Each structure stands twice: as C-alpha cells, then as structure tokens.
Structure 1
Amino acid sequence: MANGVFHTRYGIEINLHRKDLANPDREHLLEEITQPVSQRARDLLQCLEDRNGGECQCALDGKTPWMFVRRQRRNGQLVWEAAHLPLTHVATPQESDKHKAMKERIARTATRHGLDVQTEARSEDGRVVTDVLVTGAGARVGWEAQYSPITANTVRRRSAKARARGIAPLWVTGDATSQLIDSAPWTRVDDVPWQRIISPLALIIRAGVRHLQIWKCTPASERACPDTGDACGKWHCGWYLAALCLPQERATALDELVITSADGEHVAVRSRNPHDPRRVTYLWALARDVQRWREITGESDAPAEPDQSDDEHVTYTEEEIDSSCRYGEDGPHTSSPRPLRETTSATGLHTFDQAPDHTLLQPSRPIALHLSPRERLVIAAELKCPPWEIGPCTLCATPIHRYGPRSPLACPTCRTTTHHP
C-alpha cells in the first residue's frame, strides 16, 4: 500500500504519514479524502506513479489508477494508507446461497409468529436496503445477513443510517473473525451449508447473546476472581455467554432471537470496559437483565454514535512520500492481526466493595452443598450442631449452621459486610 496519493481536484500530493498530510493550509483535507467512495468522485484520488507518467501496476492489470484511503495496521501501528479501487469483494456462490438462506429463515420465522416482515426493505430515498426488516410490539429490527467480508467502518456507517430511521440494526454472521463483531449489535451462528440454514432444525447462537451474572467473590465461589484469581471478598457483575454462566443458562436459538428482539424481550447493549473506555462490546441480553445492569452500574442506554472513538489512534511516522505504485506487492494479507480484546471488555466487568443491589441480599436461586458424609460430620463437629442442620450461606455458599432454631441465612462474614439478618 502507498503512503502518498494525488488529489485531482486540488492538484496536490498528499503524504498520509505526516500529521498535516504535507498540506498544512488545508484543515479538513483528511475528512474529505477518507469519506466513503459512494459520497465523492471515484477519480478524486490518483496513484502517484500514474500521475507522474510511470507504470501503474493496477492500471496495467486492467483496473484503474484511482485510489481510496483507509486505516491499515503496519508493524503493530495503525496508519493511513492508500489502496487502489475497486477492492470490491464479489460474493462466492456459497456465500450468496448462505446469505439468501439466512434471509429466508429470518423472514419465515417472523411471519410464522405474526410479525410484520419486509425483505430488501428500502429507505425513502432508496439508498439504504435492509435485508429483512422485522417489526414487533417492542422494536423495528433490521437484520443483516453477512457472509462475505465487510469493513468495520461500513458496518458502523450502515448501522448509523438504520438508527436514524428508527431501526435497531442486528448483524448475523457465521464467521468468528468478521469485522462486524463489536462494530454494531451482532450475533454469530455456526458456519454451516445453506441447506442447514434453511432447514427447520434449530440454529444455536454461539456468540453475541449474553446473560448478567452477579456474585460475591469468596473461597467457596465456583467462579474464580476475574481481577486477582483469588477470592477478593468483593462483588462482581458482568455479561457472560450461556455456557459460562453459573449455573449454566439455556442457549438462545436464532429463531427465538428473531421473535424476542422484535417483541422487546431481548435488547441491544453497548458496554464499555471500565478500565479502558475505548474498548467496547455489543451484545444482546434480556431486557430485565439490562435494566438491572443499568441500575447497578449507572451506564447509559444512549445509542452509539458512528465515530471512531472505540478504536486506537492513527500513528503518523513522518516518513517521506513514496510515489511508486505498490499494487500487488503485499499479496492478499496486508494487515497484521488486530490486538485481542481484553476479557473485561467482553464482559463489561464491574467490581463493588458492597452488594451493588439490595435484592442480592435475598437468595435468588437454591444453593446446594456438595459434601461427603465425612465432610458433613467434620463440619458439624466444628459448628457443634447436628449434621442434618448444615447448609449453605445464601450469599457465598460457605457451610454454616443453617437449619437450626433461629439460624441465620448467611455466614458471619457476609452478615458483617452486608448487614444481612
């Protein structure tokens, strides 16, 4: 990729690796050259090699010398670079079949449950097309079946246009590496053939739907402390996949989400990592969990704006401009991998010294002790009570004298920190 490009309207050379783009007198130049190609002339930016009368390899390959500007990762840094147009991905027959099958499945499911359905729903100006628009009592959900590569910026831009029309965007993919993940509300299913997608068999959601988990971090907790690895005695809350919940939650099927998202039972959440606000995750969760989450954490339910605040800053290396054509030199893989998101970013983990919600002081689920007869006898001897009166603390599951006359529901430690009776 090139670090320089020629602006055909201004007649200037642009150095993308300099902070002022080598044109300090043009304040809004970066905004202009990075706008979507659909919103500006395709011949606005030209390969410098072609401009200077050299041999542009892209033009010689039967394409054009016109370019666009994008962010690219080089040696672990994010920089601006210019690439030739067009770089349009043509869907393979397999991708096209999967795309059509997913649209048909979503529309079929929504229709069967009495929801209003529009396929290939166009905006009033005809410029925005939604794969399947499902309207229910709780929301208008715009499903986008994405089986071909797409950039994160394109996902953000299309999602913003959907929100402007009062539509909740919901992207579905079978690719765990797709850039749409965490660029907008999304969900992922298994990457299966189109015949399996269109079949009546259940299609389980593998990622994108999470459940709220709130627990006290004690030695008896089944979940290790996410902060220290050891019991910290504090309270934690965060979003977890169904299989990682304790106890394990039921997995959500795609057909179920089609209905519950339109009815308002599942809603989209945008959660920031408290330790790094630039890191965010999108997820779908039960509305009651989302309400409780916002009451506990104070996080806003305001929709996301289509900006780049969630991404790291671009680095300017201040290198000299290179006018040679770089088309075809890098091969198909030109970008080093994006850094993995932190676990706390995915879970939106919050930690509290005291119980963050007074309802946690009451048991929400039955807690069982898993003690051998010998262990029960030893504990009963320590507590000086009959073995059958041993039971779990309702907050931390520590064995206590639970079932005797006037026995407490919580252990001494929990009563001290939470004022439990």
Structure 2
Amino acid sequence: MENGITPLWVAKDRTASLIDRAPWARVDDMPWKDIADGKEMVIRGGYRHLQVWRCVPSSDRHCLVSEGAGHCGAIHADWFVPALCLPEKKPVHIEDLVLQSATGESVPVYVPSRGNGRAGRHMWVSADDRTLWEEIVGERTPLPSVSVEEDDDVITFAEQEIDRTCRAGEESWFVSDARPMRDLAQPTGGITLSHMPVRGSRHPMRITPVERAAASAALGCPTWELGPCAGCGQLMRRYGRYAAMYCRVCRAVLNGR
C-alpha cells in the first residue's frame, strides 16, 4: 500500500507468481469477446469469509485442535472461500470487488502462516470480517511492504500461441508446470478461543463482535437474543422466546432465598 492506494492484482492461473505476494483475486481465463459483451467475472480465489463456530459434536465442522479426531468444546475461527462456508456464500464478482474496495466495504487482510512454511496469505474480505478478526487475534496485522523471498521467487510471464496440432499417438514426454500451486482453497489462519469471555460487571459495557459471536455459538441462539443478566451482568440469552431476565446461577441464588 502506498499513498493510501491498495493494489488489486488479478490472476487467471492458480500458479501465478503474484498470488499471496500482494492483495489478489483469481478469475477464469475468458475470451476477450465475453469480457467485451459484459459477461460477469466470478472470483475463484482470493476472497474469503470469516467463520466462527463452537467445537461440539453437533457442529458441521471438524476440530482445529484435534484435526477432526474429536471435539474440544472451544470456539474456532477460520477463513473460508465462499463455496466452503456454512451456509454457502454467494460468489463475488471482480467488478463488485473493485467497487467495494473503493468504498471500503471490502478490504485486504494479511494472515501470517502458522507452521506451513509460507510467509502468510493475502486475501480480500468484508470490512466487518476484518474487524471481527482483529478482535479475535487482539491486534491488527499490517500488509507487508516487502514480500518474503521464497524458493519459487522467480516471476515469469510466458504467454504463447496455442498449439492446435493434435499429437495423439505420438511418443513424447509430458513436462508438467514446475511452478507450485499457490491458490489453495483450503481454510487458512485458523485460531481457537479457549473459553467465552466472562463479564461480571453491572456497569455499562461494550460487547465486542468476537464476544457476541462466541456467546451466540455457545448458547445456541441468534446474536440479537443476547443481553446482560439483570443480576450479575454476564452475557446470556436475554431476549426472544423462553428467555429469562436472570442467568441460571442468579436464578438458583434467588430461588434459594
């Protein structure tokens, strides 16, 4: 980023060298006529959504701690491409991302890697997801000014004419692309919250997005049904059907009087 301007590199190849070296997006390789005719260009990689869930047996996602071997009861957060979100998110189009990046609705995020040998991943996300992520990790990770040098740090551009000669039956060697796959669709940046934030103050408090998401997952209710206990101030299911004014602990104390 320079002078407040963030670049948006558009790639058409999953092995493109600029992937994860700067904010990027990958689209299909479309004929120029389709682009000129206004055909929508769906983003296939580079845009993700933050998902937060409680790690319980009824969860549709596996445990990040045990790698699917069990359930830890904690709260996990991870970044997913739209097709792997639960429920599935609608795909984002490149023309919409250009507009949203200008208005601030979509912003770039850099997520440092956790032991996978890569320096980190660049991705475009919604502004709300970035705010929630910063609450979860407790800090704001700036976009790196210089990318970390890697083994495949040779940027190449090899546009060639299509060879339309049929070579079926010929004895020849097939040479695969030596460049590694850089656009990986699996979740990235997973983090675990060990427990729900405990609130014991009766004074007015600010509930952060991560606390609200964690409480919603733990209590099994929508976020708009959450509220403070009238007794201790602990976050609980305060509104909606079958809601109560006091949490279970306070009700036990009151009923025991």
TM-score where L is the length of structure 1: 0.41
Partner of 1:360: 213
Please tell me whether residue 212 in structure 1 is matched to residue 54 in structure 2.
Answer: no
The 8 Å contact of residues 278 and 312 in structure 1, kept in 2 or not, is answered as no
Please tell me whether residue 172 in structure 1 is matched to residue 14 in structure 2.
Answer: no
The 8 Å contact of residues 14 and 181 in structure 2, kept in 1 or not, is answered as no
Partner of 2:94: 254
CA RMSD of aligned residues (A): 3.6
Following superposition, the deviation at residue 308 of structure 1 comes to 2.3
Give the match's secondary structure for 1:243: helix
Following superposition, the deviation at residue 212 of structure 1 comes to 0.8
Distance in 2, matches of 1:393 and 1:246, equals 16
Partner of 2:191: 350
What does 1:78-117 correspond to in 2, within 5 Å?
Answer: none
Please tell me whether residue 293 in structure 1 is matched to residue 141 in structure 2.
Answer: no
Distance in 2, matches of 1:406 and 1:241, equals 35
One-letter amino acid matched to 2:47: V
Give the match's secondary structure for 2:8: strand
Following superposition, the deviation at residue 360 of structure 1 comes to 2.0
One-letter amino acid matched to 1:358: E
Partner of 1:393: 220
One-letter amino acid matched to 2:111: S
One-letter amino acid matched to 1:269: V
Alpha carbons of structure 1 residues 243 and 339: separation in structure 2 relative to 1, 3 Å: closer
Name the larger-Rg structure.
1
The 8 Å contact of residues 273 and 349 in structure 1, kept in 2 or not, is answered as no
Distance in 2, matches of 1:290 and 1:264, equals 11
Please tell me whether residue 235 in structure 1 is matched to residue 75 in structure 2.
Answer: yes
Following superposition, the deviation at residue 247 of structure 1 comes to 1.4
Please tell me whether residue 182 in structure 1 is matched to residue 9 in structure 2.
Answer: no
Following superposition, the deviation at residue 342 of structure 1 comes to 8.0
The 8 Å contact of residues 274 and 350 in structure 1, kept in 2 or not, is answered as no
Alpha carbons of structure 1 residues 404 and 261: separation in structure 2 relative to 1, 3 Å: closer
Following superposition, the deviation at residue 210 of structure 1 comes to 0.6
Give the match's secondary structure for 2:16: coil
Following superposition, the deviation at residue 333 of structure 1 comes to 6.2
How many residue pairs are counted as aligned between the two chains?
197
Following superposition, the deviation at residue 232 of structure 1 comes to 2.1
Partner of 1:222: 60
Partner of 1:270: 110
Cα deviation 1:317-373 (Å, max 9, x = unaligned):
xxxxxxxxxxxxxx99698453778877x5111112113732125548xxxxxxxxx
Identical-residue share of aligned pairs (%): 33
One-letter amino acid matched to 1:267: V
| Greater relative CO (CA pairs within 8 A, separation 6+) | 2
Distance in 2, matches of 1:253 and 1:355, equals 36
Alpha carbons of structure 1 residues 180 and 206: separation in structure 2 relative to 1, 3 Å: same
Following superposition, the deviation at residue 406 of structure 1 comes to 6.2
Give the match's secondary structure for 1:349: strand
Give the match's secondary structure for 1:214: strand
Following superposition, the deviation at residue 173 of structure 1 comes to 1.7
- Superposed structure 1 runs of 4+ greater than 6 Å apart: 331-335, 339-344
Partner of 1:194: 32
Cα deviation 1:113-162 (Å, max 9, x = unaligned):
xxxxxxxxxxxxxxxxxxxxxxxxxxxxxxxxxxxxxxxxxxxxxxxxxx
Distance in 2, matches of 1:341 and 1:203, equals 17
Following superposition, the deviation at residue 277 of structure 1 comes to 7.2
Following superposition, the deviation at residue 405 of structure 1 comes to 5.7
Structure 1, unpaired ranges of 5+: 1-162, 315-330, 365-391, 396-402, 412-421
Out of 144, 163, 166, the position equivalent to 1:304 is 144
The 8 Å contact of residues 54 and 214 in structure 2, kept in 1 or not, is answered as no
One-letter amino acid matched to 2:101: S
Distance in 1, matches of 2:19 and 2:51, equals 22
Higher helix share: 1
Alpha carbons of structure 1 residues 216 and 200: separation in structure 2 relative to 1, 3 Å: same
Partner of 1:55: none
Distance in 2, matches of 1:220 and 1:283, equals 30
Alpha carbons of structure 1 residues 212 and 405: separation in structure 2 relative to 1, 3 Å: closer
Partner of 1:122: none
Distance in 2, matches of 1:250 and 1:215, equals 20
TM-score where L is the length of structure 2: 0.64
Distance in 2, matches of 1:405 and 1:292, equals 29
Higher strand share: 1
